[in-house]
Amino acid sequence: MPRPLIDLLWRDAPGAPSGGRRGPRPKHSVGEVVDRAVSLADDLGLAGLTVRGLADSLGMTTMSVYTHVGSRDDLLVLMADSAHAQMASTPSSGADWRDRVRTVAEDNLTLLRRHPWLLDVHDPRTALGPGTIAKYDHELHAFDGTAVDDVARDAALSFVLDFVRAAAPRIVRMPDDTVFGEVWEQSAGSLARYLGEDFPLARRVGGAAGEAMGTPYDARRAWEFGLDRVISGLADLDR
């Protein structure tokens, strides 16, 4: 019988219940199962991560995996919390709050680049885990020295992280800028012929942007522009 998810998340905390398992010591710990699942998801994505494949990679039966982690949904929560616990957080003491917010966003983008599958984990139970709570506590300090109350501090952090999750797929999952540039170079002449004199504003703005960027889309430039707007939108935190 697997332990409840909350006990699995806090399995390393002092006084955490062991689950009352009897018999021989299991071949792998919960942590080892979760670590292997994270590695497989990094390589294959969540679509390629199956409990059977995980079991095979560990030399276990599928049922043995379920006795460790309860269910695939529980496994995803454990994986997300593990990734959050191992997230590299840039020290930001002494910096202006705007710089700290930018650092929080960049650190989260780095996390999603390392573990793109996190973009597909939406289970609210991840908030229960020690890794996620430690991450949350660290990131809340970005707003130290501002006039926000606790409720607004939480909302401000959510605003920043929502931007990250919305913008990150373009950077994490889309082809790099050289691919966009090649597509544009190959297709620009034919596109101009098809458009003719239609959509003059799109042609003017698109042409100016494409010339400035050397590509029809620059994910990093879009990220910088959007993050600047997010920080500008939080400017009243100083009041």
Kindly tell me if the per-residue pLDDT of 58 is higher than 80: yes
Which one of 28, 57, 84 terminates a domain? 84
Mean pLDDT taken over the chain:
89
Average pLDDT over residues 91-116: 91
pLDDT for res 239: 66
> What gap in Å lies between CA 128 and CA 29, rounded to an integer?
20
Same structural domain for residues 127 and 146? yes
> What gap in Å lies between CA 42 and CA 51, rounded to an integer?
15
Tokens of 234: 């939080």
Q: What total number of domains does the chain contain?
A: 2
Same structural domain for residues 47 and 9? yes
pLDDT for res 90: 81
Q: Are the beta carbons of 118 and 167 closer than 8 angstroms?
A: no
Same structural domain for residues 75 and 95? no
Report if residue 182 sits inside a domain. Answer: no
The residue range of the domain holding 113 is 90-172
Same structural domain for residues 55 and 109? no
Tokens of 20: 């009352």
pLDDT for res 144: 93
Written as one string, the DSSP assignment of 91-109 is --TTS-HHHHHHHHHHHHH
Report if residue 97 sits inside a domain. Answer: yes
Confidence of residue 20 (pLDDT cuts 50, 70, 90): low
Tokens of 79: 């994986």
Report if residue 178 sits inside a domain. Answer: no
Same structural domain for residues 111 and 158? yes
Report if residue 141 sits inside a domain. Answer: yes
Q: Virtual CA dihedral for 162, 166, 171, 175, nearest 10 degrees?
A: 160
Q: What percent of the chain has pLDDT over 90?
A: 65
> What gap in Å lies between CA 70 and CA 221, rounded to an integer?
43
Kindly tell me if the per-residue pLDDT of 55 is higher than 90: yes
Same structural domain for residues 79 and 94? no
Report if residue 20 sits inside a domain. Answer: yes
Report if residue 121 sits inside a domain. Answer: yes
Q: CA 91: distance to chain centroid?
A: 19
Confidence of residue 101 (pLDDT cuts 50, 70, 90): very high
Kindly tell me if the per-residue pLDDT of 29 is higher than 60: yes
Same structural domain for residues 94 and 110? yes
Tokens of 120: 């597909």
Among 133-142, 171-180, 201-210, the minimum mean pLDDT is found in 171-180
| H/E segment holding residue 237 | none
Report if residue 128 sits inside a domain. Answer: yes
Tokens of 58: 């560990």
- Classify residue 117 by its DSSP letter: G
Kindly tell me if the per-residue pLDDT of 115 is higher than 60: yes
Which one of 62, 84, 106 terminates a domain? 84
Same structural domain for residues 117 and 149? yes
Confidence of residue 83 (pLDDT cuts 50, 70, 90): very high
> What gap in Å lies between CA 159 and CA 177, rounded to an integer?
27
Same structural domain for residues 163 and 98? yes
Same structural domain for residues 132 and 164? yes
**What's the count of helices (H) and strands (E) in the chain, helices before strands?**
11, 0
Which one of 142, 172, 202 terminates a domain? 172
> What gap in Å lies between CA 224 and CA 104, rounded to an integer?
14
Same structural domain for residues 21 and 74? yes
Q: In CATH, what number is assigned to the domain containing residue 51?
A: 1.10.10.60
> How would you classify residue 145: left for phi > 0, otherwise alpha for psi between -120 and 50, otherwise beta?
left
Same structural domain for residues 135 and 167? yes
Report if residue 216 sits inside a domain. Answer: no
Kindly tell me if the per-residue pLDDT of 61 is higher than 70: yes
Q: Are the beta carbons of 10 and 85 closer than 8 angstroms?
A: no
